[in-house]
Amino acid sequence: MAKELNSLGHNIIFGVNDEQKHLLKQELDFARYIQFEGYNIEYPKRGSMGIKMLLEFPKILTRIRTEHNELQTLIDKHKFDLVISDNRLGLHTHKIPCIYITHQINIQGPNLIKNQLHKIHGKYINRFTHCWIPDSESKINLGEELSHGKLHDNCSYIGTLSRFNEKATSENEDIDYLAIISGPEPQRSQFESIIIAEFKNLTENKCAILGGKPLEESTSMLENIEYYSHLNSKDFYQLVCRSQKIICRPGYSSIMDLSVLQKPVHFIPTPGQTEQEHLAKLHGKENGWSTQNKLRISNKLKCNMVSETKQNLKTLKW
């Protein structure tokens, strides 16, 4: 989206934290960056995600109010013409048009608070000039009930968004399994530790791990594992092309990328994260993508997992 706006002659300013800035500057050297902190949600090492989110709710609301006030100051300072908010609920104002981007029109949360979350989210959506939904309006779509249903008047579908624009090749697949590690701590590190342990058991297979740590730039070999802390989009694409099968979290951004790359994928949702659990079940059921809620995966890996999904993934590209 930033590349498209830049090609039309617009100046782009990103509000980011340090990690996001490091990541984006590699891809978008034409943009400017200002410090703007996120919600900094803390995920539990174990136990109920629902209870943890209830405890985090006051902190989130406080940050939403704070970012709303910060935006007014930033508009006066930088003379913005338009605000595009990536799921940031406080970034609306009457001064200039504001666009809210979300795929979660119908938030998948714990049943105890799901309806209340939907009402609160709807009130925030109505405060924006437009709400853009990164999905297809057609029956063939990625979000299904997450992104479809009764829409507010300011909502519209813009199609899926991906940094990739072509299918990954399969000519030189020398890696059996590629694990893409992502998400907040401590779940990111826990997931990585389990993947490393499982991959080491697959002594006859060549494996690779993309660590999801943008602030680090390191490459190493761990027995039968190629390890990359972070890769830019070009190198990431080449790594995917080399890989026969992918293991990752079913975050929506990952799903949008994979719908273009069309490689067999094995989803392992973050424990207790209801949106990822929902998306994993959805694509496992509707599109033949493999899902696995348990973290121990070696038996599944040894059974030629998800090799049948290539033909089904084709239906997700339009």
Q: Does 2 reside within a domain?
A: no
At which of 110, 128, 157 does a domain end?
157
203 and 304 assigned to the same domain: yes
Does one domain contain both 197 and 140?
A: no
DSSP state, residue 41? P
Fill in the amino acid letter for 133.
I
Q: What are phi and psi of 62, to 5 degrees?
A: -65, -45
- Global pTM? 0.85
149 by DSSP, 3-state: which? coil
Question: CATH number of the domain that 280 lies in?
Answer: 3.40.50.2000
* Residue 169 placed within a domain: no
Token pair belonging to 109: 């949360």
Are the beta carbons of 179 and 200 closer than 8 angstroms?
no
| Angstrom distance (rounded) from CA 137 to CA 61 | 31
| Structure tokens, 104 | 């979660």
271-293: pLDDT as tens digits: 778 888 888 888 865 454 555 43
pLDDT digit string (tens) for 9-29? 999 999 999 989 999 998 999
Q: Which residue range(s) make up the domain with 295?
A: 175-316
Taking 70 as the pLDDT cut, the residues of the chain under it are 46-50, 109-110, 284-318
φ, ψ for residue 59 (rounded to 5)?
Answer: -65, -40
User: Is residue 251 domain-resident?
Assistant: yes
Q: How many CB atoms lie within 10 A of CB 274?
A: 18
Tell how far CA 8 is from the center of its chain.
Answer: 26
Q: Which amino acid is located at 123 in the chain?
A: K
127, 157, 187 - which closes a domain:
157
19: tokens are: 């990690």
* Residue 21: inside a domain: no
The answer to whether residues 291 and 213 belong to one domain is: yes
